[in-house]
Amino acid sequence: MPSNNLISIFDILETIRLINAKSILDIGVGFGKWGLLIREYFDLRPDEKKGYDKWSIKLDGIEANEKYLTPVHGYVYDQVFVGEAIDILSNNNLYYDLILGIDVIEHFTKPEGLKFLNLCRNRARTVFINTPNIYYKLQREYFNPYMLHKSGWDADDFTKLGARYVWHCDLYVLAVFTEDTINLPLTKNIQEYHFEKTDLIKIKELINMYYQTSQFQECLDACEKYSRFFPDDRDLSRMAALCRERLGRFG
């Protein structure tokens, strides 16, 4: 579905406001919500004759599913590239003050997600990621294969990858990759995350998804990572053994 949960909407908008970018690339525009909100709250100026003045922010987008695009997108965005984000970022000489990846990275496999993130960081001064914390099991793909959740991410991942700001907002983890100092209203910027017992449900759903989709290396990596936090959990040990068997490894 070309939308997302509203839980983190304030954190996302406030972060965009504080970054104060003059050029933005919105990846996975979907219904166009973030483009509309950016125009309304950060770029809306009255004009006596036309009603609205010309936009002052360069706002482009990427969307893999062309069926999502409507006349609204043509008004809100300066340009929407249709296709897969990795291909577009790889094959176009693009650069922005800010790249938004709101509920996007979980739709890639883990290796693809790392490539996607690296491309974004090479194409922008600041990259802002919002994704379900650890994993969210999607019940339906809404007639769009790009909707499937193929990987899971947590604060520990983004901290180790070099994010300057990482924090939680309910179901989500948010990360900002930048060299700039941003006055984000954080009570605690996560530098080292310790997983809780309540995280185990999502961890096991993530591991099962990896196994069921034949992502055995990612499954093993997740088992080994989370076993450090839950060394006595037998399910993690069992799944790790199954993955090693599939990969032809023992020990």
Q: Which amino acid is at 247?
A: L
The domain tally of the chain equals: 2
Same domain for 220 and 149, yes or no, is no
Same domain for 130 and 237, yes or no, is no
- Is residue 1, in this structure, part of any structural domain at all? no
Instruction: Give residue 195's pLDDT.
Output: 85
Distance (Å, whole) CA 49 – CA 65: 36
Same domain for 149 and 212, yes or no, is no
Same domain for 156 and 208, yes or no, is no
- Is residue 209, in this structure, part of any structural domain at all? yes
Same domain for 60 and 165, yes or no, is yes
- Is residue 185, in this structure, part of any structural domain at all? no
Length of the chain: 251
Is 170:8 a contact under the CB 8 Å cutoff?
Answer: yes
- Is residue 226, in this structure, part of any structural domain at all? yes
Same domain for 70 and 154, yes or no, is yes
Which three-class secondary structure state does DSSP give residue 165? strand
DSSP 53: P
- Is residue 3, in this structure, part of any structural domain at all? no
How big is the chain by its Cα radius of gyration, in Å?
Answer: 19
Residue 2 has pLDDT above 60, yes or no: no
Same domain for 227 and 122, yes or no, is no
The per-residue pLDDT for range 114-131, each reduced to its tens digit, is 999 999 999 999 999 999
Domain stop point among 178, 206, 234: 178
The per-residue pLDDT for range 87-117, each reduced to its tens digit, is 999 999 999 999 999 999 999 999 999 999 9
The per-residue pLDDT for range 178-198, each reduced to its tens digit, is 999 998 856 456 766 778 888
- Is residue 222, in this structure, part of any structural domain at all? yes
Distance (Å, whole) CA 10 – CA 5: 11
Same domain for 146 and 207, yes or no, is no
CATH code (residue 131): 3.40.50.150
Same domain for 208 and 167, yes or no, is no
Same domain for 158 and 212, yes or no, is no
Same domain for 18 and 113, yes or no, is yes
Residue 30 has pLDDT above 70, yes or no: yes
Q: Strand 124-132 to strand 58-63: parallel, antiparallel, or no bridges (unpaired)?
A: unpaired
Which three-class secondary structure state does DSSP give residue 189? coil
**Cα–Cα distances in angstroms (integers) from residue 204 to residues 115, 153, 209, 229, 230, in the given order:** 25, 13, 8, 13, 12
Half-sphere exposure of 106 (CA within 13 A, CB side): 24
Q: Which domain holds residue 243?
A: 197-247
- Is residue 188, in this structure, part of any structural domain at all? no
- Is residue 202, in this structure, part of any structural domain at all? yes
Is 91:131 a contact under the CB 8 Å cutoff?
Answer: no
Same domain for 29 and 106, yes or no, is yes
Q: pLDDT band for position 177 (50/70/90)?
A: very high
Q: Which amino acid is at 31?
A: F
Is 63:69 a contact under the CB 8 Å cutoff?
Answer: yes
